[in-house]
Amino acid sequence: MISDIHEFFTPAEWSTIKNYADKQDTPCQIIVSDVVERNFLQLRKGMPYAKIYYAVKANPADEIIQLLSRLGACFDVASIYELRQLLRLGVTPDRMSCGNTIKKTDHIKEFYEAGIRLFVSDSEADLRNIAKAAPGSRIFIRMMTEGVLTADWPLSRKFGCQADMIYDLAVLAKKLGLEPYGISFHVGSQQRDIPAWHTAIQKVKYLFDQLAGDGITLRAVNMGGGFPAHYLEKANSTETYCAEITKYLHEDFVDGLPEIFIEPGRSLVGDSGILVTEVVLISRKSRTSLERWVYTDAGLFNGMMETLNESIKYPLYIPKRGVAEKVILAGPTCDSADTMYENFQYELPLNLSIGDRLYWLTTGAYTASYCSVAFNGFPPMPVHVIRLDEEEKK
């Protein structure tokens, strides 16, 4: 299974990217910032009414933050470390929210002192900590969602709470002097079932009505991430996601939309990344074995974490052609968990050799940011952010 590079980049674009890549050691990540920009503009066009908070964890490269900041994005920040990075890059606190429901009181205080006034919570203890360390702040209460089976990287059971608890927390927030501002949810990352948003929006509307009846007027819905990048398993286009979700919103909020927030990570940066790797070793486990093991210099600990349980199936491009047979793809470290694809059928040419380069496509999200510091001594991979028109001029 070798993908056609021209489904991802034009011949001219690929030639620019490959020229750049040829000068780099492997493994490395190349981010084509033009693609990030295009994806951002496309999402903004599809949901012009929504405030876009980029989920920094998907790819925190400075250049990506700066680009999105210039385009007018806001940022969903999960820790004081991301906060400090964004402040260093000149992002103002009115464009940040603290979206992590799991946080220390000291850290809430640092967010508050930096000027952040928008927090997400899903538990009484956290809400009380926010009331103490960030008095008067606006609160999104996070709702638990379904969609675990249709998301390629589900999130939901760890986060959010059920409707009865949301109700209680909204009432408590008000009592504690906070401003219950809205309800947030995340239907699961790379959510391929668009109706998952409908189910969530319906529940949110029900809670809006219930709380309004008791004197609490919520203002906003935060629909989280879940929008797609282009992997081997097909997903609908971003336009289709936007059109369908917009329709759901108007169906449920017939009297006009509340403020809408979205927090895309994967869909903005996923398609922009190319992970450039090299074959370290090719072997068979017995004289008659039909499968080759192909070990590459990138694995789960340095970029390919989302191949855990073979969840995300990245498109793979190699220039070599020829008769292809099944391989098992594994990383370079001394841990058998560092095996990317054993069940899924990647077939690579029999003439593949040690030293050949493999280009993993759609690897801009949750790759570089997931690298271990130095498992087995392997360093995190370098990230190169390039702009195609500028590279072409060189």
Ligand X SMILES: *Cc1c(COP(=O)(O)O)cnc(C)c1O
- Taking CB under 6 A as the criterion, the residue among 138, 198, 230, 266 binding ligand X is 266
> How buried is 38 (Cβ within 10 angstroms: 0-12 exposed, 13-18 middle, 19+ buried)?
middle
- Taking CB under 6 A as the criterion, the residue among 60, 224, 273, 303 binding ligand X is 224
Distance CA 363, CA 303 (A): 8
Q: How far is the CB of 187 from ligand X (least distance, A)?
A: 9
Q: Which of residues 170-209 bind ligand X (CB under 6 A)?
A: 186, 189
Q: Which of residues 78-137 bind ligand X (CB under 6 A)?
A: 99
- Taking CB under 6 A as the criterion, the residue among 37, 76, 297, 338 binding ligand X is 76
Q: Does 3 bind ligand X (CB under 6 A)?
A: no
Q: Which of residues 313-352 bind ligand X (CB under 6 A)?
A: none
Of the pair 150, 210, the CB lying nearest ligand X is at 150
Query: In the chain, what is the straight-line distance between the N-terminal and C-terminal CA atoms, in Å?
Result: 34
Q: How far is the CB of 96 from ligand X (least distance, A)?
A: 13
Host H or E run for residue 87: helix 80-88
- Taking CB under 6 A as the criterion, the residue among 152, 263, 297, 356 binding ligand X is 263
Q: Which residues contact 42 (CB under 8 A, 6 or more apart)?
A: 238, 239
Q: Does 227 bind ligand X (CB under 6 A)?
A: yes
| Contact stretch for ligand X (CB under 6 A) within 51-59, 82-90, 245-253, 353-361 | 51-59
Return the closest-CA partner of residue 75 out of 219, 225, 237: 225
Q: What is the DSSP letter of 62?
A: H
Q: How far is the CB of 271 from ligand X (least distance, A)?
A: 12
Q: Does 226 bind ligand X (CB under 6 A)?
A: yes
| Contact stretch for ligand X (CB under 6 A) within 52-60, 334-342, 351-359, 370-378 | 52-60
- Taking CB under 6 A as the criterion, the residue among 60, 265, 303, 315 binding ligand X is 265
| Contact stretch for ligand X (CB under 6 A) within 262-270, 285-293, 295-303, 316-324 | 262-270
Return the closest-CA partner of residue 234 out of 281, 285, 190, 283: 190
> How buried is 354 (Cβ within 10 angstroms: 0-12 exposed, 13-18 middle, 19+ buried)?
exposed
Question: DSSP per residue over 224-282, as a string?
Answer: --------SS----HHHHHHHHHHHHHHH-TT---EEEE--SHHHHGGGEEEEEEEEEE
- Taking CB under 6 A as the criterion, the residue among 154, 225, 303, 331 binding ligand X is 225
Return the closest-CA partner of residue 31 out of 278, 363, 305, 316: 363
**Interface positions with ligand X (CB under 6 A):** 55, 57-58, 76, 99, 186, 189, 224-227, 263-267
